[in-house]
Amino acid sequence: MKEGQSEVRIDKWLWAVRLFKTRSIAIEACKKGRILVGGNTIKPSKMIKIGDVIGIKKPPITYSFKVLNLTEKRMGAKLVPEFLEDVTPVSEMEILEMQKLTGFVDRARGTGRPTKKDRRDLDEFTTESFFDDWDFDSDEE
């Protein structure tokens, strides 16, 4: 960062603090409305300053980061905590945990065919041999 500079382009900062792998991906995220500052979608050329809270929509949740310092140059992962603070609400993180627990049971429409293992599990569940172990007549005596 140049001396006396109190603002940095958001696309450069997102790339420099390793929130996106390339600057092109950061620019694309801004253009698609996935980056928020103050609750508003922004352009890649938007200038940010220290203290801004940046929201990044990565379904199913929106991550929030507070800008602690400014930079335009990519850095090592160990230095990242000096430049941003994760302020994502706990409620958002709980949504993420719940999604991880559901596994493939909550299969979204259009996500493709089941894997071979998924198909075998479904076939095993729906075959008659699966129900042979159950005693359905135990209620009647």
**Residues 14-38: pLDDT tens digits?**
999 999 999 999 999 999 999 999 8
pTM of the full structure: 0.67
The residue that leads in pLDDT, 129 or 30, is 30
Report yes or no: 83 and 68 within 8 Å, Cβ to Cβ. Answer: yes
Residue 84 has pLDDT above 90, yes or no: yes
* CATH number, span 1-88: 3.10.290.10
Residue ranges of the chain assigned to CATH 3.10.290.10: 1-88
**Cβ neighbours of residue 13 under 8 Å, at least 6 residues apart?**
48, 67, 70, 71, 72
Residue that the structure tokens 């928020």 belong to:
36
Cα Rg of the chain, angstroms: 24
